[in-house]
């Protein structure tokens, strides 16, 4: 028996102002007396987030170091007791009635494993943020401007993958709704975890969607619920040349594609780095980090955000972190 209607799981990494704004928006998202448990995991932030989150209306888990997004979600999940589980990013604000709408949707669609809202930008404009499951080709063209130039139809493939031209005027199944705000039915989840921790930051949501698809458990998006999304508030603080992302792509390709395609992807990425090294492009990984990433090694998790200094060198950013206008 569950103690709450919904357990809301939020992971924060150096987004103090955004996570406080996210929490302040929660009451507006609930319009019919739902009982909610709010669990926030602070993943070793250095911006004073943990102290700001020390408040009576949430359950706070303080991690001394950054354990990764997947592990932090699983920490919160282990403590949760709700009938439904809401995955909510710290840069998302619920619009009026959004959570209640998602709960009603799942209660009236018992065969659906999860439901997600539509997204809007802070300026109110629509934000396409739901996807089909990535294929080898979409990963290739998404990661290489050269491939997009060489391969006819690349932009069309990317638009199809990102569902940019799809009709969301009515509720519909979506292969991979964004996990930035995703309500899941506890009975559809395994007991021990939500995310695969071998994908610490990137692609854990893709693997979750694949697991639902393998079980013929659909995920839906309903336009009756909406949220405001800043977008990539934490991941953009990882800096250029992200080994976490590339290593996670390689891990996923090894699970889903034949070895020949994995080696083709590695070759394309390696060749694409050569001109970047020649011109000193700051977005390029170093040789050692690239070699590690192409072997599927995501590297150590960052302890603090990074930014570009005025001279172009990477440095840790301890304060003045990006927040929503």
Contacts with 236 (C-beta within 8 Å, 6 or more apart), sequence order: 322
pLDDT, residue 28, reads 92
Sequence spans of domains, the chain: 4-130+168-235, 239-302
What are the angstrom distances between the C-alpha of 193 and each of 77, 222, 251? 7, 26, 19
* pLDDT tens per residue, range 97-127: 999 999 999 999 999 999 999 999 999 999 9
Nearest to 80 by CA among 162, 2, 174, 185: 2
SS (H, E, C) 13-56: CCCHHHHHHHHHHHHHHCCCCCCEEEEEEEECCCCCHHHHCCCC
CB atoms within 10 A of CB 308: 13
Using CB atoms within 10 Å of the CB of residue 153, give its burial: 0 to 12 exposed, 13 to 18 middle, 19+ buried. exposed
Query: Phi and psi dihedrals of 120, rounded to 5?
Result: -130, 150
pLDDT, residue 270, reads 93
pLDDT, residue 151, reads 84
Do 321 and 14 touch, CB atoms closer than 8 A? yes
pLDDT, residue 232, reads 65
* pLDDT tens per residue, range 137-149: 999 988 777 788 8
pLDDT, residue 142, reads 86
Query: Phi and psi dihedrals of 6, rounded to 5?
Result: -135, 135
Spell out, as residue ranges, where the chain has pLDDT lower than 70.
Answer: 1-2, 232-241, 306-325
* pLDDT tens per residue, range 139-197: 998 877 778 887 888 899 999 999 999 999 999 999 999 999 999 999 999 888 999 99
Please give the class, per CATH, of domain 4-130+168-235: alpha beta
């Amino acid at each position: 028996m569950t103690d709450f209607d919904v357990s809301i799981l939020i992971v924060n990494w150096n987004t103090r102002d955004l996570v406080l704004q996210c929490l302040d928006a929660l009451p507006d998202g609930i319009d019919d007396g739902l009982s909610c448990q709010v669990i926030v995991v602070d993943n070793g932030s250095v911006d004073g987030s943990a102290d700001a989150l020390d408040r009576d209306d949430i359950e706070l888990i303080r991690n001394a170091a950054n354990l990764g997004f997947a592990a932090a979600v699983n920490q919160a999940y282990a403590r949760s007791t709700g009938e439904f589980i809401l995955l909510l990013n710290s840069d998302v604000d619920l619009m009026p009635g959004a959570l209640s709408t998602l709960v009603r949707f799942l209660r009236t669609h018992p065969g659906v494993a999860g439901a997600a809202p539509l997204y809007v930008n802070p300026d109110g404009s629509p934000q396409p943020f739901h996807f089909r499951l990535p294929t080898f080709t979409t990963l290739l063209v998404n990661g290489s401007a050269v491939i997009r130039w060489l391969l006819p139809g690349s932009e069309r493939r990317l638009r199809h993958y990102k569902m940019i031209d799809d009709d969301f005027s009515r509720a519909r199944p979506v292969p991979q709704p964004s996990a930035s705000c995703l309500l899941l039915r506890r009975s559809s989840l395994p007991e021990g975890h939500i995310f695969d921790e071998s994908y610490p930051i990137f692609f854990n949501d893709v693997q979750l969607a694949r697991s639902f698809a393998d079980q013929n458990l659909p995920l839906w998006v309903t336009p009756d619920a909406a949220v405001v999304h800043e977008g990539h508030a934490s991941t953009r603080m990882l800096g250029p040349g992200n080994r976490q992302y590339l290593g996670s792509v390689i891990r996923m390709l090894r699970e889903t594609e034949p070895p020949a395609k994995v080696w083709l992807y590695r070759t394309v990425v390696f060749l694409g780095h050569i001109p970047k090294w020649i011109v000193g492009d700051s977005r390029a990984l170093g040789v050692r980090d690239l070699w590690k990433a192409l072997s599927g090694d995501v590297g150590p998790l960052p302890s603090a955000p990074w930014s570009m200094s005025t001279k172009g060198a990477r440095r840790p950013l301890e304060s003045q972190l990006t927040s929503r206008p």
